[in-house]
Structure 1
Amino acid sequence: MRKITYVFVLFLTLLLTFPNAIISQNKASDSTADIIIYGGTSAAIIAAVEAKKSGKSVIVVSPDIHLGGLTSGGLGWTDTGDKSVIGGLSRDFYHRVYLYYNTKEAWNWQPKEAYGNKGQGTRAMDGESRTMWIFEPHVAELIFEDFVKEYGIQVERDEWLNRQNGVKVENGKIISITTLSGKTYSGKVFLDATYEGDLMAAAGVSYHVGREAGSVYNEEWNGVQTGVLHHKHWFLSDISPYVVPGDSTSGVLPRISTVSPGNKHDGDDKIQAYCFRTCMTNHEANRVPFPKPENYDPLQYELLARSLATGRDDFFEKFDGIPNYKTDTNNHGPLSSDNIGMNYDYPEASYDRRKEIIKEHEDYQQGFYWFVANDPRVPKDIQMEMQKWGLAKDEFTDNGNWPHQIYVREARRMIGQFIMTENELLKKRPTPNPVGMGSYTMDSHNTQRYIKADGFVQNEGDIGVNTKGPYAISYGALVPKKEECTNLLVPVCVSSSHIAFGSMRMEPVFMILGQSSAVAAVLAIDNNVTVQDVDYEMLKNALEEKGQVLKK
């Protein structure tokens, strides 16, 4: 009895003497900031930088360990469009890339003068604007880490939102989010900067997955696009889809749908294909041979063999050069790194199911490279060239030199206060309250592979439509409907149609929208208003002062 009394008295004494210490231990898993950002993408880090520059406390809650999303995950051949409309902190990122590659240490494998300075529609290194648009993955990640250190940003890594009951909402406001590890983060304004839109969905905000019918927003390029062949990502010749060519009783080859693709302009729940943007090299001192997946099956690539047998010779067209004898290698051709039709349930899948989908994509793509480098059915000239290539030894060193981020080209898209469509991008209608600009082609990769009425195989969904110059992006596309949530901004899974998102989904634009979202969040906090009620003139003036480009 005396021992129990002594322990109680000791605890009471400690509580009175060090109350904050006792409370802090009990609340060790709780954190509070003005702005909570969920995601580790380029948009997330840029938004956090803006929040700190504006004098607000911010916490980045990142399910990722590596920061920067696709920008540091292999997409170094930047989809710039019209670079003159890339402003603010987005441009600052590319300025920092420029500064990095102006050091002797940056060119450890390749002399700087040997690099061709070719970019996507622009020079890779632009001395006049002091920007560089093409870079190695590890360089992008280094710059994002420098942002974090320079601005003292708190980043909680490997923290996954509890999507079932981890979002506390009261009276239309998010109060806090809790991760699977049990940590809780409370804030005044929240940003969902993930590619998937998990926080947005868990908060009860409306969204869409798949392609809307063309009639929904009066769009020509939305919905099913059978018969539309814009790029070279389709079968140029008649290829049989059957195991034994021409014999339907022999079974259908893998990765070909046996159901109708739908009528042109029909809506569906299908999404454009994913892949990894692999960083390759043919510089022997830095080359790692392509790995062979344990479950490798050459039948998965029979369609490629049949396509190559017709004389198609553009296999290496998207081995886009980045510094130090490396590439950002993207999908190209009718059967390539795009894993068509194998990602439909990814946007709303559980974390475990997403991991399965990502692993299946990894196995497929690694098997694809192995097939080209080793299968005897591949034409000798292509095979001999492919055998010179491999993964870059000094990239993604903790992941077998394989990208840590799959290219989620599209997942959920918010149905917000304003919906961007092709009509705004093509300037058929004005865009209200601009907070940034885009300019890239409305670009969708293939969505399905099917059997045509004539019995041959074809791909569907690949679209490339020029926007004929830059277009404005509305603030209303970043905020939910007011009746759904009043303190959330969404700079990645923005409110847009499928085909409009096909242009807006570029990494420079995500950084632009990340900064604009953070500026709006600050104004909402300072003026004690909802994100929907932020005064646009105040927002516009603040953005322009920070170098954002709102009109062209």
Structure 2
Amino acid sequence: MQFKTLICAVLVLLLNRPAQADHQVDICIYGGSSAGVIAAYTAKKAGHSVLLIEPGKHLGGLTSGGLGYTDIGNKYAIRGLSLEFYRQIGRHYGKFEQWIFEPHVAESLFTDYVQRAKLQVLYQHRIVAADKENGRIKSIRLEANGTTVNVSAKMFIDCTYEGDLMAKAGVSYTVGREANDVYNETYNGVQLLDGHQIPDGVDPYKVPGDPSSGLLWGISPATLQPKGSGDKLVQAYNYRICLTNDPANMVPITRPDNYDPARYDLLARLVKAQPQRTKLNDYFIWSRMPNNKTDINNRNGFSTDMIGANYEYPEADYKKRAEIIKAHEDYTKGLLYFFATDPRAPKPAQEEMRKWGYPKDEYTDNGHWSPQLYIREARRMVGAYVMTQANCTGKEVVQDGVGMAAYTMDSHNTQRIVIEKNGKKMVKNEGNVEVGGFPPYPVSYRALIPKAEECKNLLVPVCLSASHIAYGSIRMEPVFMALAQASAVAAHEAIAGNVSVQEVDAAKISSTLRNNPLADGRNGDILIDNSDKPQLEGSWKTEKGRGSYGPDMLTATANAKATFRPAIRKAGRYSIYVYYPHLKTNASVMNVKVLAGKKEHAVPIKRDEITVVGQTSGEWVKLGTFNLKKGEGSAVEISAGNSEDGVVIADAVLFVPEKR
């Protein structure tokens, strides 16, 4: 009896003790996006136990999900492991770095990061709750095929596009567009502008001129609100579509699930209204990728953006999100099928579309269709600091930057509505904004962390704290990766100092990123920008504008020389590159000389031999590989000849160690 009593007592104790976490680590990263992989890799290389959780089946998010035509803004803004990723892409294709690539190539690189760091990854685990204690997340609860899994950690990083961990932790966030007066902005809120717009005069009704017949599919009955007013509407989502025109690698475009040609009645009217637009490039941004593939994006008034179909997505449960994702897939496949088969499509575009199909070697476990919907914007944290339009344009510059952004303030359309103009009802898209022209700018560390009273051990590099329009500039995949690396460094510092994320010194994060850019102790590149004040002879002008590496560049037309002199910390072989702003330089030959010890090497750069691809207006041109001694005895000279040679640029020089 005594033994049975003892057994019962033990069982009671076991049943009533606090639930123990199934996983206990130093740092937990939720979301296997490009940012999530980089954060996990960085944290592991810092010596921590790390768990990476991916709600789906694939790593890399949108970077491996079809967005191969990388949105950069300015290469100067991309550093550390983010830049190294695109260098690895370049090595795959036999180049120094490359910003356009196939989806499976990107995913293989993210998988390689996981394998090299020996990271533990949980796939198809979705967060259902977060338990907090004394202002810290103690553990999160996950659901996986009916099984509950608990994870406790010292630090958490939310790398999802939706901010699900952030929301479960009770951190403040917003959805939609702020009114302009909230942060003293001009491009937030309602904006009825000309970009990706439907031309005047396109009738919105099923029976033209008859409101009683109802609106065509995809048109909202909402009333246009005053310019700059706020709302909860979310900019449109779409798929970045990968197709191929290689017959040996092609799955034909066929009638998709739930196809309804009425969904494209407005498109048919648009085709009639603009008879001059007959090519696929008039209706899609049809960017070519390596190996006969594409990254297709939205263009003009009716395209891949499923405007107005995503409002519920940010805060929806998983079932509703799955329905919204499926609706976007059906719509997008239906759009391709419309162009391939519907007699209302422009004939030249139809002939083009019939040459394309889904690639057999992409998304092989998902019917050759991307598993990643482009979630351009969902929740946005309202954190310790909110990035705004003033930060993008340089009117307000933060002093605690731990990464940079550089892209245009970009919002896709949020709604398709009916307006009245000159006494006539017509359909218009609303919400598109594309405002750029500013140099790279720093992103505040405080924008990555919640307010101290809300959570002390969470970092949010993807759904970071920014207004709608500022987020439109920051929300680029290379920037997410860079901010994720900074977040992992911050998590390390918080653990090492036994402090909250709010108490971590941003300057220390920046120092670590600068001194250990690849997170594993390898030597980084030596970059000398024109802003680093090279030695100048003759007449050089500082010029801002598109094409420069960084905020500006130096220009000269005759009898001028700029000498870029690095401080070599370790003797060895270095590959040397000079940045060539192709859109600005009009000299047929740029005279460049490398000084390596007592030897001089003349390396003329011929304009006609430079090919610039992707969303960048410049390219790194290799001058060669040289033995360089420690110290400041080496240099690169860029010179302008006579005035007939045209404008010569001195912008940036890069020294890449052969042995890291």
TM-score, normalized by length of structure 1?
0.88
Match of 1:284 in 2: 247
Match of 2:48 in 1: 56
User: What pairs with 1:78-93 in structure 2 (closer than 5 Å)?
Assistant: 78-93=70-85
Instruction: Decide whether the 8 Å contact of 1:94 with 1:132 is kept in 2.
Output: yes
Q: Secondary structure at the match of 1:307?
A: helix
- Structure 2 regions of 5+ residues with no counterpart? 519-526, 530-549, 552-660
User: What pairs with 1:385-424 in structure 2 (closer than 5 Å)?
Assistant: 385-424=352-391
Instruction: Decide whether the 8 Å contact of 2:279 with 2:349 is kept in 1.
Output: no
> 2:498, 2:335 → 1: CA distance?
54
Match of 1:525 in 2: 495
2:132 counterpart of 1:175? no
Match of 1:188 in 2: 154
Q: Which amino acid aligns with 1:279?
A: C
User: What pairs with 1:208-357 in structure 2 (closer than 5 Å)?
Assistant: 208-226=174-192, 228-229=193-194, 231=195, 233-309=196-272, 310-311=274-275, 312-313=277-278, 315-316=280-281, 317-357=284-324
Instruction: Decide whether the 8 Å contact of 2:76 with 2:440 is kept in 1.
Output: no
Structure 1 residue 237: deviation in Å? 4.0
Q: Deviations over 1:330-384 (max 9, x none)?
A: 1112111100000001000000000000011111111111111101111211111
> 2:308, 2:373 → 1: CA distance?
15
Match of 2:447 in 1: 477
Q: Which amino acid aligns with 1:340?
A: I
Structure 1 residue 29: deviation in Å? 6.3
The structure showing larger relative contact order (alpha-carbon pairs under 8 Å, at least 6 residues apart) is: 1
2:440 counterpart of 1:448? no
Q: Share of identical aligned residues, percent? A: 51
Instruction: Decide whether the 8 Å contact of 2:21 with 2:139 is kept in 1.
Output: no
Structure 1 residue 49: deviation in Å? 0.7
> 1:378, 1:267 → 2: CA distance?
37
Structure 1 residue 544: deviation in Å? 1.4
2:438 counterpart of 1:468? yes
> 1:385, 1:29 → 2: CA distance?
55
> 2:150, 2:110 → 1: CA distance?
25
> 1:541, 1:251 → 2: CA distance?
60
Q: Which amino acid aligns with 1:395?
A: E
Instruction: Pick one of 459, 481, 486 that aligns with 1:511.
Output: 481
> 1:289, 1:441 → 2: CA distance?
36
Q: Deviations over 1:85-123 (max 9, x none)?
A: 211010111111111122xxxxxxxxxxxxxxxxxxxxx
> 1:384, 1:300 → 2: CA distance?
21
Q: Which amino acid aligns with 1:480?
A: P
Q: Which amino acid aligns with 2:293?
A: K
Instruction: Decide whether the 8 Å contact of 1:315 with 1:332 is kept in 2.
Output: no
Instruction: Decide whether the 8 Å contact of 1:168 with 1:174 is kept in 2.
Output: yes
Q: Secondary structure at the match of 2:126?
A: coil
The number of equivalent residue pairs is 508
Q: Which amino acid aligns with 2:433?
A: I
Match of 2:653 in 1: none
Q: Secondary structure at the match of 1:175?
A: strand
> 1:514, 1:249 → 2: CA distance?
52
Q: Which amino acid aligns with 1:362?
A: E
Q: Secondary structure at the match of 1:353?
A: helix
Q: Which amino acid aligns with 2:481?
A: M
- Structure 1 regions of 5+ residues with no counterpart? 16-21, 103-126
Structure 1 residue 313: deviation in Å? 3.2
2:151 counterpart of 1:203? no
Structure 1 residue 238: deviation in Å? 1.6
Q: Which moved more, 1:376-385 or 1:286-295?
A: 286-295
User: What pairs with 1:18-57 in structure 2 (closer than 5 Å)?
Assistant: 30-57=22-49
> 1:402, 1:51 → 2: CA distance?
32
Structure 1 residue 84: deviation in Å? 2.1
Structure 1 residue 465: deviation in Å? 0.4
Q: Which amino acid aligns with 1:313?
A: T
Q: Which moved more, 1:27-36 or 1:53-62?
A: 27-36
> 2:451, 2:210 → 1: CA distance?
53
Q: Secondary structure at the match of 2:91?
A: helix
> 2:320, 2:253 → 1: CA distance?
26
Q: Deviations over 1:21-49 (max 9, x none)?
A: x99xx989611111001111000000011
Match of 2:104 in 1: 138
